[in-house]
Amino acid sequence: MSFTAAQSILAANDPHRAAAGAVLVADDLLWPSRSAVPCPAAVLLEGELRRRGVRTARGHLHVGTADRVPVALRAVFPVTGGEAGLGLAIPGHPSPEVTAAVYSAGAAWLAAAGRTRKVLLAAPRSFCAGVERAIEIVARLLDQRGGPIYVRKEIVHNRHVVDDLRARGAVFVEELSEVPREATVVFSAHGVSPAVRAEAKRRRLNVIDATCPLVTKVHTEARRFAGHGHTVLLIGHAGHEEVEGTLGEAPERTILVESVEDARRVRVPDPSRVSYLTQTTLSVDETAAVVAALRSRFPALRGPASDDICYATTNRQDALKVVAEEADVLLVVGSANSSNSVRLVEMARRQGTPAHLIEDARHLRPEWVTGASVIGLTAGASAPPRLVDAVVSALGGLGPLTVEEREITRETVHFTLPVAVRS
């Protein structure tokens, strides 16, 4: 249906006829005398309405000559493999503000519908081996022992993962003081400082360590460099849990360096005894610039035997570069507190490609894709693959869609589980 035709539907329905209630976002459109039309893009309408402060409900939308509630939008258009639709209904007696928001949201996503598009999937994307290991540790503990299983901080930086595990009985705490004595506690994938381990021992907690082995490697290097009398310059972001844990390994000998500017200003007791380490989820290019600035000041600067930035971070950044070159816009699935996800957005923007971080499909905005023919799509290492699949499905509900993958490498890394949780 054209935008003009849809506008006539909007104008023809009186939104003040029905009982009060949430705005209905159609999962499918139902007619008395024809097949149902699915609405895979319903999640996009739902997200737009929620951003505008409108309460929503999902379900079947019965449309026809005797609609029981005023239909604000019903549109059907061709998609790959058949037809799809968009539908909204406004029960009750909404305020003029709600009415305007519903009509505006419907028009915005309708303007994005009916266009042929291509999605380019970056590969690798989504979960890495360290994230999979951490999530499996908590899941197995819940299966073996039942809840509650306490987890210090978020096991990984993704809201969906945390919410799923919380629903199964995991209890996420900020500090060990919130954990009952002698209870089981899991340390997150980001690692902890020796002080936290000592506190757990004092409280007689049963500790299961889900620290990513690549983060553990950085901790080991910090202790080794500090043990040799070096000042350790840790490149990373203040306040990030991984950085706090690494700083705690040798706090009297470690200095945080967040930028090239910090590298140009930092002072050390002995310029001949300086080493650097990095947070594992940084931008490869930006980190190289910081290291170069440090090396120009400290020619004797030593670094780790192999890069601290983990293989998964590097692979996802390299894959993104390939996709960003072809895309009109790039979407990164991940949470706002996920460092590696945020770095992907920043990298795409530095390449000149508009890029946006989305928690899930509900956070996708119509203005980002209305004029886009090629949409790049990836996900941070802590984002579940199903969230990427949901974005593709929603985009496929807007019009004909082809999906292509750009794989730069295939990851085969696997980390073993702690003995305490193995079957």
d(CA 297, CA 272): 11
Provide the annotated active-site residues. 242
- DSSP class of residue 302 equals B
Half-sphere exposure of 224 toward its Cβ, with a 13 Å CA cutoff?
A: 13
Q: Taking the domain 119-125+311-407, which CATH number applies?
A: 3.40.1010.20
- DSSP class of residue 375 equals E
- What is the model's pTM? 0.91
User: Quick one: pLDDT at residue 63?
Assistant: 84
- Tell me whether residue 190 is annotated as binding: yes
User: Quick one: pLDDT at residue 69?
Assistant: 65
Which residue carries 């379900």 as its tokens?
A: 59
- Tell me whether residue 337 is annotated as binding: no
- Tell me whether residue 230 is annotated as binding: no
Domain 214-297 fold is Cobalt-precorrin-4 Transmethylase; domain 1 (3.40.1010)
Encoded tokens for 307: 């890069």
| Identical fold between 119-125+311-407 and 214-297 | yes
d(CA 198, CA 367): 51
Tell me the CATH architecture of domain 129-211.
Answer: 3-Layer(aba) Sandwich (3.40)
Tens digit of each residue's pLDDT (9 = 90 or more) over 47-100: 999 999 999 999 999 887 555 567 889 999 999 999 999 999 998 788 899 999
User: Quick one: pLDDT at residue 147?
Assistant: 82
User: Quick one: pLDDT at residue 347?
Assistant: 96
**What are the domain boundaries of the chain?**
3-114, 119-125+311-407, 129-211, 214-297
- Tell me whether residue 93 is annotated as binding: no
| C-alpha distance from residue 138 to each of 17, 173, 324 (Å) | 51, 14, 35
- Tell me whether residue 310 is annotated as binding: yes
Tens digit of each residue's pLDDT (9 = 90 or more) over 249-301: 999 999 999 999 999 999 999 999 999 999 999 999 999 999 999 999 999 99
User: Quick one: pLDDT at residue 4?
Assistant: 33
What is the full per-residue pLDDT of the chain (423 aa) written as tens digits? Answer: 333 333 333 333 333 333 347 999 999 999 888 899 999 999 999 999 999 999 999 999 988 755 556 788 999 999 999 999 999 999 878 889 999 999 999 999 999 999 999 999 999 999 999 999 999 999 999 999 988 999 999 999 999 999 999 999 999 999 999 999 999 999 999 999 999 999 999 999 999 999 999 999 999 999 999 999 999 999 999 999 999 999 999 999 999 999 999 999 999 999 999 999 999 999 999 999 999 999 999 999 999 987 788 999 999 999 999 999 999 999 999 999 999 999 999 999 999 999 999 999 999 999 999 999 999 999 999 999 999 999 999 999 999 999 999 999 999 999 999 999 987
Neighbours of 195 (CB within 10 A): 12
Enumerate the β-bridge partners of residue 57: 24
> Per residue, what are the HEC states of 149-189?
EEEECCCCCCHHHHHHHHHHCEEEECCHHHCCCCCEEEECC
Encoded tokens for 399: 């019009």
- Tell me whether residue 287 is annotated as binding: no
d(CA 75, CA 3): 9
- Asked whether 56 and 91 are in contact (CB, 8 A), the reply is no
- Tell me whether residue 212 is annotated as binding: yes
User: Quick one: pLDDT at residue 238?
Assistant: 96
